[in-house]
Chain A
Amino acid sequence: MALAVRPRFRFEPYVEFGKKAIAREATYRFEVFTSIGSFVLRMYLLRMVWVALYAHNAAPRGLPLHAILTYSAVALLMGLVLDIDQVSSLYDKLHDGSIVSDFMRPILVPLYFFADGTGEVLFHAALVLPALALALLIVHIDVPSATTLATFALSFVLGYFVGFCINFILNCVAFWTLEINAVQLIVTFLTDLLGGELVPLIFFPLAFQHVLFALPFAAMFSTPLLIYVGEIGPDRYASALGIQAAWLVGLAIVCVVLWRAGSRRIVVQGG
């Protein structure tokens, strides 16, 4: 009943787009195999690296071995969801020109990409469970208190949307350049390092930390992870989530501006 009050906008088509995306992803079975395989390999590797490092050096303040192994395991599990470019269909459609037909459909095109991307991500999120089971064979993962877990979940969702905006912006660049693969890979590798996915940002020299914590990459990975392992305590929850939300708002504005400008100057090559 409540939905019927809005005559023009209907939510259902977008749910369908999401379901379609899930079905599409499920057909690429070998990708599932490789992402799980890569996950196990990296989990083993990180365990070996951290164990060797902690065996020969004094443990840094606040992060004993079990905490860093938990950090790495949760980071890799988050990566299964966050490392996906859920807006890549925008690039594909710009490249082959099929974006034109999307503009003719009675839908909000950006929302279509959001629904499509969410479906893709939900499918990959289902991999988290088997990956978690395998991870537990390799390392022990600490489970924090319910409050911490809830804050982590909230922070993770904010991080996911920040990641969505970054991917949306990168794919929008294709409105102008048509080629984005190299730029995208550059951003992916920078995110891995500067977002704290591989090495916690608190291991960087202090001068770097001031800059890194202010960047959007930290809002994707580092903030939820540091909340999970307790490095960001309850007294700093509000400010940590606040910075994430600020990045989300800022990047969302960039998305809107880029989308408006881009969709106005659409260029379709031949076809």
Chain B
Amino acid sequence: MRAVYGQHWRINLLTALEYRENFLLWSAFTVVYHGTAIATLWVVLHTFPSMNGWDFKDMAFLYGLWMLAHAIHDTVFFGVANVPEYIRDGEFDRLLVRPLDTLFAVIAIPGQIFPDELILALGYFVVATVYSGVRVDAIFVLCVPLVVLGGTLIELAINLIVATIAFWFVRVDALRWIVLQLEQEFTRYPIGIYSRGVRLFLTFVFPFAFMNYFPATYFLHKSEGALGLPPVVGLLTPAVGLIFFGAAYVFWRFGLNRYKGVGH
């Protein structure tokens, strides 16, 4: 399994080297994507110094937490997003007869993935942490990697659920796209600005708030926790990630056992 995964990365990196201009342009896009998002926050908070008590420094850290979890997801688990496409053109049936676990087989399909976003996210996170003045103590060093991995699992779980739905409804582009947008938009600001229903949704249904909002309230020592929860719930992200991913995986197995192919 490890050997297969090693080959996956070897092919990824070779592909990136082969299509150098294209790779450089996509890297430039990654920089522009995150750059414009952060610049938008900066411009808004330049005119309005506080958003529910959060200033630009806080928001820079909030974005950094999400960016890191999101970058790990996109780098390691991007293949999951391609499942609907594989199902549509029959490619998926080939994965089913492989001797390794199907989900692993999906993740190990080489694409044109290069860890450029991950490198950018790591660099940005270090800068944002120093800039926001978060105290870097033993708890921070111990908890941040776990929180980030928990956030990655939350994003993976959502994508796995969407991919599983494709077993029944082959075309799920619209759904996937809406879920993607929900995640991107609702992780950008402190969730205290939304109505109670939306806050409950972001905490218990699609727990995006655990990707960055709750951990950030803890690390930034914010007294305000949306829904009246104490900031320390932010450290529950790894558990939330595991539970959510576990549920998504059970659903995936359920779908996989009922999958009959689309008739190729």
The interface of chain A, by Cβ under 8 A from chain B, is: 30, 33-34, 37-38, 41-42, 45, 48-49, 51-54, 56-57, 60, 177, 179, 182-183, 185-186, 189-190, 192-193, 198-199, 203-205
Contact = CB atoms under 8 A, between A and B. Distances in A.
Given A30-B173, A49-B189, A49-B193, A56 B43 contact: no
B51 A56 contact: yes
26 contacts: A33-B174, A34-B178, A37-B178, A41-B182, A41-B185, A45-B185, A45-B186, A48-B194, A49-B44, A52-B189, A53-B48, A53-B51, A57-B47, A60-B47, A179-B21, A179-B25, A182-B25, A186-B28, A189-B29, A189-B32, A189-B33, A193-B36, A198-B40, A199-B43, A203-B43, A205-B46
Contact of B43 (A41, A60, A204): A204
B50 A189 contact: no
Interface of B: 21-22, 25-26, 28-29, 32-33, 36, 39-40, 43-44, 46-53, 171, 173-174, 177-178, 181-182, 185-186, 189, 192-195
B19 to A, nearest CB: 9
A199 to B, nearest CB: 5
Contacts, number: 85
A227 B103 CA distance: 54
A53 B32 contact: no
Contacts of B182: 41
- Majority SS at the chain B contact face: helix
Contact of B36 (A42, A56, A192): A192
B51 A52 contact: yes
Given A52-B193, A199-B44, A34 B52 contact: no
Contacts of B181: 38, 41
Contacts of A182: 22, 25-26, 28-29
A231 to B, nearest CB: 14
Nearest to A201: B43
B52 A56 contact: yes
Looking at A30, A52, A60, A190, the one whose CB has the most chain B CB atoms below 10 A away is A52
Contacts of B44: 49, 53, 199, 203
A266 B82 CA distance: 34
A185 to B, nearest CB: 5
B193 A57 contact: no
Given A37-B174, A57-B48, A190-B36, 15 more contacts: A30-B173, A34-B178, A41-B181, A48-B195, A49-B44, A49-B51, A49-B189, A52-B189, A53-B44, A53-B48, A57-B47, A60-B47, A183-B25, A203-B43, A203-B44
B40 A199 contact: yes
Contact of A190 (B32, B47, B48): B32
Nearest to A63: B47
A45 B192 CA distance: 12
B193 A48 contact: yes
A56 B22 CA distance: 45
B30 to A, nearest CB: 9
Looking at B48, B52, B178, B185, the one whose CB has the most chain A CB atoms below 10 A away is B48
Given A34-B178, A37-B178, A52-B52, A186 B29 contact: yes
A177 B24 CA distance: 14
Contacts of B173: 30
A116 B10 CA distance: 44
A186 B49 contact: no
A56 B185 contact: no
Looking at A33, A54, A189, the one whose CB has the most chain B CB atoms below 10 A away is A189
A188 to B, nearest CB: 9
A54 B51 CA distance: 9
Looking at A41, A182, A198, the one whose CB has the most chain B CB atoms below 10 A away is A182
